[in-house]
Amino acid sequence: MYSFLDNFIIYLKVEKNASPRTVESYQQDIWQFIDFMSDDLKIPGEQVHPRDVNHLVVRKHLAILQRNGLKRTTIARKMASLRAFFRFLNREEIIAVNPIMDVSTPKMQKRLPQVLYQDEAWMLVEAPDTRNPAGLRDRAIMETLYSSGLRVSELVGMNFKDVDFSLGFIRVMGKGAKERIVPLGSYASSALERYINAGRPALNKKNIEALFLNKNGGRLTARSIRNIIDKYVGQVSIQRKISPHTLRHSFATHLLDGGADLRTVQELLGHVKMSTTQIYTHVSKEKLMSVYEKNHPRA
């Protein structure tokens, strides 16, 4: 079965252009399932054939994962890995029937995304001390995240040439290596221009193309962005757990609160499915009810 997994990994890298992190996640999930199959059938993993898998075996694997205390989100992710793997095997005619088709994924609890109030967002993005290069960079980072709703991976992947001040747009590479053009707000544009002119030259010790640089002149990582956000959340004393993705959630919610239509927000966020964007309508409805109950005399 391992040889089939190797072919699947090649397919993910070449045809799907999946990120290294995604490939690693799929590989580990499927390895775990093959190990389970080997133990269950009492034969070595390399001798297990995909034809040996049926829906009962998959359900047994899920039951064990649940007994081991794994979260529903983790189990759902592992199921998604297996679905993709067996869909690939079915497409390649290695198996005639996809055994995962008869197995349902555990239902997920719907959780509304954490969102900043507008005044909190403003306090956060204005927190950095812009009298030094790092502060100019941090201000530009948070203004861009809040202004354009970027994923952190998109932000750290940006290069200097991806910013077009004349048109007020930035070019980002989203999931699945899909490029999109995103508007840059006036505050973000101003913060980026100041960083590029007065902050970035002091950090650019290696003369690389990356837009956002660390103190050593290298490209910032997603972990670095999280640390930067944590630093300023502490400074402005927001008493909630805030992540870089919270700024993306806030961007979408504040757009909808301001009257933007769902289709526009979907395009700006780079969502493939409208259903992914629709969660933000629930957040806005929550705010509407809050305002209504607070202000209406007969609420």
pLDDT value at position 39?
Answer: 86
Active-site residue (options: 26, 146, 232, 280): 280
pLDDT value at position 111?
Answer: 64
Active-site residue (options: 13, 16, 60, 271): 271
Whichever domain contains 12, its CATH number is 1.10.150.130
Active-site residue (options: 61, 248, 249, 254): 248
Give long-range contacts, CB 8 A cutoff, 24+ apart: 48-53: 48/1, 49/1, 50/1, 50/4, 50/86, 50/89, 50/94, 50/95, 51/95, 53/86, 53/95, 53/99
Active site residue 271: yes
Active site residue 13: no
pLDDT tens digit sequence for 9-41: 999 998 888 888 889 999 999 999 999 988 887
The verdict on 138 and 279 lying in the same domain is yes
Residues of the chain predicted below pLDDT 70: 45, 105-112, 282-292, 295-299
pLDDT tens digit sequence for 49-104: 888 888 888 999 989 998 998 888 888 889 999 999 999 999 999 999 888 888 87
End residue of a domain, out of 48, 70, 102: 102
Mean pLDDT of the chain: 87
Active site residue 298: no
Active-site residue (options: 175, 180, 194, 287): 175
**Residue 93 placed within a domain:** yes
Active-site residue (options: 151, 200, 249, 254): 151
Active-site residue (options: 13, 16, 77, 245): 245
What is the residue type of 4? F
The answer, as to whether pTM is greater than 0.75, is no
Active site residue 287: no
pLDDT value at position 37?
Answer: 86
**Residue 108 placed within a domain:** no
The domain of 269 spans 118-295
The verdict on 170 and 70 lying in the same domain is no
The verdict on 237 and 96 lying in the same domain is no
The verdict on 60 and 149 lying in the same domain is no
Total structural domains within the chain: 2
The verdict on 229 and 151 lying in the same domain is yes
Nearest-angstrom CA–CA distance, 195 and 184: 15
